[in-house]
Structure 1
């Protein structure tokens, strides 16, 4: 009976590994701690050989941590450059599941290369555009200061607005790339909430005056620990967005407490079918395009920074009634 049961188990293993052989991931089954009992075709292509010790087939910087988890019967998960016995290396996602004694190597080399190319491209484009943009803005300012014919001042102002918009897009794309590629390291610092709000208010002063918006700011917090740049950028983008889509002489309500930031406006609102798309880069609803100028990047930036900081963002809106955004703080 035991021999029949053993044979069934062996047959099942063969069936499973026939399936594993079709995968692009390297799959390894271990026995006697780090001894390789089974390896699928992909793992064998990489030089992982059955009936050999795992440590003789691969090497990477954190291999001691993996070995310790295998010996102490714990799961393991990391990403690192793996050096294989065949003399090549790959950037892999490494997962060890102790329950099944299964080790998975997911090749992410191409993904990392594409990510690096994309990151370098955004960085290069941003750098190359900023220099001529600065020169153009400087010359426009000179024209504005020395132009004697008042007839052309509106055109100069329009050029200035367009250059400011380009600069804003470049800044937001750069910020998005930093957040997306994980290059930004969160800081822990003491933030004085009222001072933070005043800084945002100062930056948005012209927009507030232009539409004669009244801001109702309430905070029961004096200080909060977090990343000042992240909170400043989130708050500024949400209030700027609220101003943009508010009616003249309307009111915006801002609440900042231990659980959340809430920004509520009495503006044009968002149609329900549009809400799932508002965090997409460059997405702007047909009504938003008609009502106000914008790049469609502000909310994408907010979403990325929330993901980075482990915050949750919520949106409630009624068409032609108003919109409420909430940033919910999780335990950090």
Structure 2
């Protein structure tokens, strides 16, 4: 009703101005019978009111639909009163929606093709990296050791790209099973042994026997790899430990990863899981991309796990995954 009155306000305003002008002309011409003038104005006003009522009743569903957001074009097509105005608007919306769906399908097709290309490219790049690694693995020269370290960084970067591209189609690449948590953690740390040795950091395990959790091994391993490499990267002093500890919290199993690194400023902690946020530490360590913890958060949410973080500057950071 409010929208209808706002739409018809110019007509009502012009009508009142017209009544005043016509009455004034008759008054200047010497016709001073106010009774007849008021009677004529009353009849004219009644005709206007009847017109407005008919107009509102005819287009009531149209104005009500405009006051509420459309959930689909079928809602608008369900109007019982079809007028030229409603039919014209419905045709316009149908045409615009058809163009929108066409453009959306076009961009979706391009995006899927782009993601497929990235996946294929990453897999193709893994082959030469593996070959180079096989070539240098038996060499003792420090130059080959440096090359191996760079290969590990390249491999980690490619995996980050691959998992980022697959995140939107997560449900198509998910296999939940019962996993031995200690086995998964030890496998991840073993894969990162070159990084542990280079930084002179030692893993420390505190697990109860047969800690079983329900998760996807591949995605969980990627999450743990991100957390381990972050912990090692931000531990600048040598001969430090990276602690892995599991315990029960009620019905939940908790995996706690605690480093002895530089820690995270309290002002940065609320944003560490935001995409591309590097924070104060990221400005001091140029390797930081701001995507590692973002992917960790997104994957944990999709797996149904919760993640917590605590940190004290110059003492270390603790991250907990709650299964």
TM range, smaller chain: 0.5 to 0.7
Q: Secondary structure at the match of 2:172?
A: coil
- Give the Å deviation of 1:136: 6.1
> Residues 244 and 193 (structure 1 numbering): CA distance in 2 closer, same or farther, change over 3 Å?
same
Partner of 2:207: 218
- Give the Å deviation of 1:326: 2.0
- Give the Å deviation of 1:221: 5.2
CA distance in 2, matches of 1:273, 1:14: 51
Structure with the higher strand share, 1 or 2: 1
CA distance in 2, matches of 1:10, 1:220: 75
Please list the CA deviations of residues 164-184 of structure 1 after superposition, one character each: whole Å capped at 9, or x if unmatched: 322321211111121124453
Unmatched runs of 5 consecutive residues or more in structure 2: 1-54
Structure with the higher helix share, 1 or 2: 2
Contact 2:246 2:255 in 1 (8 A): yes
CA distance in 2, matches of 1:286, 1:130: 34
Contact 1:219 1:256 in 2 (8 A): yes
Partner of 1:19: 67
Larger Rg: 2
Unmatched runs of 5 consecutive residues or more in structure 1: 1-6, 49-85, 91-106
Contact 2:62 2:79 in 1 (8 A): no
- Give the Å deviation of 1:319: 1.7
Structure 1 position 127 matched with structure 2 position 120: yes
Please list the CA deviations of residues 224-249 of structure 1 after superposition, one character each: whole Å capped at 9, or x if unmatched: 23322222222332233222222422
2:270 pairs with one of 273, 276, 281: 276
CA distance in 2, matches of 1:129, 1:174: 7
Aligned residues: 261
> Residues 260 and 136 (structure 1 numbering): CA distance in 2 closer, same or farther, change over 3 Å?
closer
Contact 1:213 1:243 in 2 (8 A): no
- Please show how residues 82-93 of structure 1 align to structure 2 within 5 Å: none
1:228 pairs with one of 195, 217, 223: 217
C-alpha RMSD of the superposition: 4.1
- Please show how residues 288-303 of structure 1 align to structure 2 within 5 Å: 288=282, 290-291=284-285, 293-303=287-297
Partner of 2:180: 192
Structure 1 position 169 matched with structure 2 position 157: yes
> Residues 212 and 166 (structure 1 numbering): CA distance in 2 closer, same or farther, change over 3 Å?
closer
Contact 1:122 1:177 in 2 (8 A): yes
- Give the Å deviation of 1:293: 4.1
Contact 1:179 1:308 in 2 (8 A): no
- Give the Å deviation of 1:192: 1.9
CA distance in 2, matches of 1:256, 1:114: 47
